[in-house]
Amino acid sequence: MTPPVGRGAAIFGCAGPHLAPAEARFFREADPFGFILFARNCESPEQIRGLTAALRDAVGRAAPILIDEEGGRVSRLPRGVGRRLPPPLDAVRAAGGRAADMMRLRYRVIAAELQSLGIDVNCAPLADIATPRTHPFLRDRCHGTTAQEVAANARAVAEGLFAGGVLPVLKHIPGHGRAEADSHLALPRVQEPACTLRETDFAPFAALADLPLGMTAHVVFADLDERPATTSPAVIRLIREEIGFGGLLMTDDISMQALEGSVARRAADAIAAGCDVVLHCNGALREMEAVAEAAGTMGEAARARGARALALRRAADAPVDIRALEAKLGAVPGGFGDG
């Protein structure tokens, strides 16, 4: 049976740890594809489970609920709810030849945590390649320094999440690793020729193009277009036709300062460029109302891609002993931090 897909071409956050009546009314009307949680929304297991249930109740279906839970610096779950893990790049380096095994275990543990909270989509893996000049906001979040290493480790991340009943989101398509600016604050520009990018930065994404969900990069690839990838028809076409990504394509957070104009303008431009849904994360209700209107409803092709992605949701492969998983992960160099 095809899972129901929301009408609205958006994924929204909410303001706090509990769903406000005004938010619930808005979500009921806008019927977004899904929701995303941040640290401001997460206090305790019981509270998180209550919030995920309330969000789904607001739209009357099992809407996907996303989170960025990479371990390392990007961890939305509070201490005592989520494990404290070393940054992915540090863990990969420590694990050496066992990096893929370690990443698979690491994300199987994360998936078990998320599933227990009612969260069924994780914004990982990154297939961005770390370089010496990658901005610090991204560098230690990467899964390697070569296309081959990144593709292997990112595939292991996806496998660990799938095994735990959580859908992965491939990011940041078509590659954020050469960005020397933080796209939360400014628009990065990549000057390398497209032929170089195809052989390096774009290659891991092509290797992972079968994944069901993906997220764009707010990065200008000057040899392709002067517009950021998120709002560039030329880059979205490359993502679809050359990289071969056939899954549901969401924007990175539309409220990040890499993009110009109002959030409504950004949302409209992203949909016009070929993104399927707009991701808006800050939970500001007036902004969400503007984004919902500008993004409109999901087109037929986008709805089909969304339905195919959601059809892959399933229970974990088998009940797991989380302590046994932790013990396995702890036995691999780089598996755990000190938290």
**Ranges of each domain in the chain:** 11-16+34-46+63-313+325-330
pLDDT by residue for the chain (339 residues), tens digit each? 556 899 999 999 999 999 999 999 999 999 999 999 999 999 999 999 999 999 999 999 999 999 999 888 888 998 878 777 889 999 999 999 999 999 999 999 999 999 999 999 999 999 999 999 999 989 999 999 999 999 999 999 999 999 999 999 999 999 999 988 888 888 999 999 999 999 999 999 999 999 999 999 999 999 999 999 999 999 999 999 999 999 999 999 999 988 999 999 999 999 999 999 999 999 999 999 999 999 999 999 999 999 999 999 988 877 777 778 777 777 778 787 544
Give yes or no: 252 in active site.
Answer: yes
* pTM beyond 0.75, yes or no: yes
Residue 167: what are its φ and ψ, rounded to 5°? -80, 135
pLDDT, residue 88, reads: 92
CATH superfamily for domain 11-16+34-46+63-313+325-330: Glycoside hydrolase, family 3, N-terminal domain (3.20.20.300)
Paired strand residues for 8: 32, 297
pLDDT of residue 2: 59
R_g over Cα of the chain:
19
Task: Please say whether the beta carbons of 56 and 63 come within 8 A.
Answer: yes
Among 128, 252, 253, 269, which one carries the catalytic annotation? Answer: 252
What residue spans of 168-316 are helical by DSSP H? Answer: 194-199, 203-207, 233-241, 263-273, 285-295, 300-311
Distance from C-alpha of 276 to C-alpha of 249, rounded to nearest angstrom: 5
CA–CA separation, 95 vs 284, rounded Å? 41
Q: Are 191 and 136 in contact (CB under 8 A)?
A: no
CA atoms of 75 and 72, how far apart (whole Å): 7
Q: What is the distance between the alpha carbons of residues 239 and 3, in angstroms, rounded to a whole number?
A: 26
Report pLDDT for 60: 97
Q: What is the pLDDT of residue 327?
A: 79
Beta bridge partners, 228, equal: 220
Query: Which residue, chain included where needed, has tokens 């774009």?
Result: 202
pLDDT at residue number 197 = 97
Residues 253 and 279: their CA atoms lie apart, in Å, by 5
pLDDT score, position 339: 41
| Distance (Å, whole) CA 199 – CA 242 | 12
Q: For the chain, report the end-to-end CA distance as a whole number of angstroms.
A: 42
